[in-house]
Amino acid sequence: MSIDIIISRLKKRYHPGKFGSKDPFRALIATVLSQRTRDEVTDRASEKLFAKYGTPAALEHADVGDIEELIREVGFYRIKAPRIKEIARIINNDFKGKVPSDMETLLSLPGVGRKTANCTLVYGFGKDAVAVDTHVHRISNRLGLVKTKTPEETELKLRETLPRKHWKHINELLVRFGQDLCRPVGPKCDECPIIEMCPGREGR
């Protein structure tokens, strides 16, 4: 299977955005909010939050109850509200208001795992990183790109096998592909632009 063909066809269908175009702080906080939450819900909550608290300094001094109200739609909002306030405090005080641009430091922030850190590097800084969420993990295995059991294993395997030029594209393309066509249940195989390269096509 040619990963170049897969990426090329998915790019033609989904037209990925310009990486590194988002403010790193917004990319970081939005990704924390997105954990176990649908994208459309995350987008609404993020807009409400950043409309009122658009900087680390502003969010650091925000009332937790107010943050909870603004992000109430997202999953586990009572846990995420104090967490993002603490992230803002650390960034504002320890890093002079600038989001760290390296994996190790990002992982030291509360509630930030590898997916969140990688998304921040890709969308906030335009760096080459492999951001793996449930869509990327599931579809990478469905297509036979990897044979892994966890998103963490998928990230490490893709870093080994995926050409670096595709790293930053893989998240957006497979997330949109997974939401649009390659769904966990009831995939729209008749519309799939890479169906002939899918190992499971004969069983569908």
| CA dist list (Å): 46 to 94, 99, 108 | 24, 17, 22
Tokens of 73: 């739609």
Residue numbers in the known binding site are: 182, 189, 192, 198
Sign of CA dihedral 22, 20, 1, 162: negative
One DSSP character per residue, 112-134 reads --HHHHHHIIIIIH--------H
Which residues, 6+ apart, have CB-to-CB distance to 135 below 8 Å?
A: 174, 175, 177, 178, 179
**Residues marked as catalytic:** 115, 133
Residue numbers in the known binding site for [4Fe-4S] cluster are: 182, 189, 192, 198
- Could you give the CA distance from residue 148 to residue 150 in angstroms, rounded to a whole number? 6
Closest to 45 (Cα-Cα) out of 31, 58, 56? 31
